[in-house]
Structures are given as structure tokens and as C-alpha cells.
Structure 1
Amino acid sequence: MLKIIISPAKKMNVRNDILSYKNIPFFINEAQILFSYMKNMSLEELKNLWKCSDKLVQENEQQLRTGNLKQNLSPAILSYEGIQYKYMAPAVFEEQAFIWLEKHLRILSGFYGVLCPFDGVIPYRLEMQARFHTEKINNLYDFWGQKLADYILKDCDCLINLASKEYSKSVLKYIPKNVQVITCVFGEIIDGKIKEKGTYAKMARGSLVRYMAEHQIENPEEMKQFDELGYKYKEEYSDNTKWIFCK
């Protein structure tokens, strides 16, 4: 089975006005451990953990103090509000596209580990590269270890990597030999080299997920027909593990 991994977004909101969540995240116990650790941290410790402005620290601390991992939940796919998710535009999907997403798409998360699209979440702030600097938890890559890959790759023979390096490396280091990995790169050819620009790449990743869901893609070869936002697949720059789409 084909599976796709994508990154989360920093900006989140509660969105249970369109569709309800279906399941509690698989790694809810691990998330509860991280949640409890953060709740016991001082404002200064949270600032060092989150590495964001004082305003954002105060906003996220308030969410942390009043939040509950089992209340006021909304589907993960609708809760993230970054560029990638805006171009994916899941709020306007038809039912068949949602069914495809739930089967094939997995969202990596420093806090929840891995999320299926309709797992119930609350707004949180915790990037995968964050460091706790405690005896029990230092960095999240060690905290999560191989369990994220094991969960995602069950019944998977082809993994489409649309996640950033920060998130994808939590999975890619544990790939077994029987699983094909295809990393999609969206860039421009400048002086004979592929240059990827962050914002445009996020837009393209979201558009590709939408394209795959709408076309119910099961064979990765069908991805090569993607031609939105001016991008086209370039065979001459691609190989078995890296597929290049250029403007």
C-alpha cells in the first residue's frame, strides 16, 4: 500500500464545525507524557523549548494550562492552518477524497507522533527538533525512536515523502529494505541545478496531496501527471528515490 508522510503546521485552530473527529491518536499515551512535562515547565523553560516570541509563548502557555487531550477535539487534517494545508484545501473535499486521505496520509508530529487525518487533536506547539534537556526526555527523535516508522510502514510498500527534513528523518532512518521511498522535490532549474524555495514547495506539497486524493491514486507512477502551480515532473533530473518537479 502507498503511504504519504507530511509535516504539521505551527499554526492551529479548533475546527469541529465542518466534520467531527473519528479516533483518538494512536500514540495518545506518549502525547500525555509530553503534555504533562510541558505543564510542569516554567514560562522561561517553555520559551526555551518553543523558541518563539513572548507573545506566542503566552498564547501557547494559556492553551497548555487549560487544554485537555480528550476534550474539544477536532480532526487533525482541518486543524492545521499552514500554507501546505491551505493549498491542500481539505475543507472542500468530497467524501471519497476523505476516505482516500484516511487510508493513505499520515501527518508527523513532535507532540502526537503520527496522526491519521481524522484523529482528534487540540492546538499545541512542539516542533520535532525541540529539546527538553531532562533526564527522561532529551530530544524527540530519541523519545519517539523507531515506533513512528513501525506504525506508518505497517502494510506499506511505497512511502511518498512530502515532509520536511526535520520531520522526515524521524522515519526515514528506520526504513526496511522492502519499502520503496520516493521523496518529491519541487523547485526551479537555476544554472543547471534544482533550487527549492520553501514557500513554493509547501504550496506544491499541499496541492499534490489534494491531486492524489481527488484522483484516488494507488500507483505512484500516476503522480508524474501532476502539473499544478506550474510544476511538471522532470524525468531527466529524477531517480528511483527522488522525483523532481520543476516550474
Structure 2
Amino acid sequence: MQMIIAPAKAMRVDTDSWPVASTPALNAEAATLFRSLQQLTLAEAQAVWRCSDRLAATNYARLHATHFDGPRTPAVIGYVGIQYHYMAPDLFTAPAMAYAQANLRILSGLYGVLRPLDGIVPYRLEMQSRLPDHPSLYAFWGARLHDALDWSAPVLNLASQEYAKALTPYLRPGERFIECVFGRLQGARVQVRATRAKIARGAMVRYLAERQVTTLAGVQAFDHPEYRFDPARSSDDRLVFLERT
């Protein structure tokens, strides 16, 4: 059973916590996109990133100071965000990281699909971004992200819609893409709060890695003080976890 998560916008260089163990499977394609980014003017880059003047200047300077071939940080360590904070991959045991390397995949606008210990450089490029040379990253990547995953068992979706929809057009009959929903009851409706969902997704990855979970029954047993599995609101392709009251 594999699981997918989204990247984070903020990144860091960390060559000490875990060693790089692998190269991104779609590294050649990523190099093409990286060169396209480096050819942009500051104004063009800011339009792609849709950020403030200060962030644009900082990211533009970093872009032109970065060499695509290194130094590289393991992907799961390089991203800095809420989900990654609660995943705490820098504190993984060796068995937990080995499980993550085999089963966890990070979808990326630049790199396509990443294993946790794939070496990457800092960048800023969301999947929904539009480059002058590549106005749709969804079209650029096509079916390659789907085809990079192992569909012989269910794939657990712990990513945002922006990244999950890079896979859904290419699903084939018999392939199971299981959505995990973390929310609270608002009347009869399950309301998802973005920040809390990111926290829960990070905790879920950590839980699965620590326990070496390989079945959906193991996923449903997610033991978290703030969430409980709700079988009544779940289905074959949707697992709902509700905030405890």
C-alpha cells in the first residue's frame, strides 16, 4: 500500500538529518522545468509564484544561487510545513524511514513524484503554476505521476486536491485511490478545516510508518487523541475521521 502527500512551499537545505539515498525517478524532466524557471525575469517569476515582492525577491535570488545537481537534501526533510512538522521525519527510526521510502510518495510540481530520501534542491513551483514554456504542469506530467505509483494495492490519498487531481484522470478500472478525510461534523455535513487536516495527515503518515501498516484496516485503526474513524460516513474509496467531541 502506497500513500501520497503534497509538498510544502517553504524549503530548507539539511544534509545532516538523513543521507540522500536515491535520485528522483523523473529527474531529467525536473531539470527541464528548473531551467525554464531560471530563464524567467523577476516579474515573470513573481507572476508564476503569485507571492509578495519580498518573497519573490528572496526566491528569485535563491533560484539563481542554486545548482540543480546539488547540494541535495532528502525530500521528506527538505520540505518545511505543517504536515511535515507533525510527521517529524527527522525523528523517524530506521525501520520507519525504510517503510516511508518504500511506501510514501510526495507529488511535486517540479520533480513529479518523489521518494522520501530522493535528493532535491530548494525550489518554488506549485502544481497549478503556469510557466511560459509549460502553461499546464498537469499536461506536462501527463500520466507519468500515475504510472510511477504501485497500483497493485490501494493508494492512500493524503494530499491536497491540487496534487491528487494530477492522478485521477489516469485511474484505470480496478485501481483503488482511497481518500482520507479529516473533519468535524457541522450538522449532517463533514467540514474539513485546512490547517487541522494538514496536521492530521502528517500524524497519519507518522502513525503508519511507525507501525509498518500495510492494510486499510490498519489505516482505520489510526490512534489519535483528536480523531476517530467513522465507519458510517466512510465508503470503499473514502475513509472519514471525525474530530472527537
Superposition TM-score tier, normalisation by shorter sequence? over 0.9
TM-score calculated relative to the size of structure 2 = 0.97
Corresponding residue for residue 37 of structure 1? 36
Q: Does 1:7 align with 2:3?
A: no
Q: How many Å separate the matches in 2 of 1:191 and 1:125? A: 39
Structure 2 counterpart of 1:209, from 182, 205, 230: 205
Corresponding residue for residue 226 of structure 2? 230
Give the partner amino acid of 2:207.
Y
Corresponding residue for residue 109 of structure 1? 108
Q: Does 1:141 align with 2:125?
A: no
Give the partner amino acid of 2:138.
Y
Partner secondary structure for residue 161 of structure 1: strand
Q: How many aligned residue pairs are there?
A: 243
Q: How many Å separate the matches in 2 of 1:112 and 1:158? A: 23
Corresponding residue for residue 24 of structure 2? 25
Q: How many Å separate the matches in 1 of 2:225 and 2:142? A: 36
Shift of 1:156: 3.2
Structure 2 counterpart of 1:179, from 172, 175, 182: 175
Q: How many Å separate the matches in 1 of 2:90 and 2:112? A: 23
- Please give the residue correspondences for 1:13-162 in structure 2 after superposition, counting only pairs within 5 Å: 13-134=12-133, 137-153=134-150, 156-162=152-158
Q: How many Å separate the matches in 2 of 1:244 and 1:18? A: 34
TM-score calculated relative to the size of structure 1 = 0.96
Give the partner amino acid of 1:14.
V
Q: How many Å separate the matches in 2 of 1:58 and 1:138? A: 22
Q: Which ranges of structure 2 fall in alignment gaps of 5 or more residues?
A: none
Q: How many Å separate the matches in 1 of 2:159 and 2:232? A: 23
1:172-200 per-residue CA deviation (whole Å, 9 max, x = no partner) reads 22112122111000000011110000000
Q: How many Å separate the matches in 1 of 2:34 and 2:76? A: 21
Contact 1:3/1:156 (CA < 8 Å) preserved in 2? no
Q: Which ranges of structure 1 fall in alignment gaps of 5 or more residues?
A: none
Partner secondary structure for residue 187 of structure 1: strand
Corresponding residue for residue 220 of structure 1? 216
Structure 1: 4+ residue segments shifted above 6 A: none
1:13-43 per-residue CA deviation (whole Å, 9 max, x = no partner) reads 0011111101121111111111111111111
Q: Calculate the aligned-residue CA RMSD, in Å.
A: 1.0
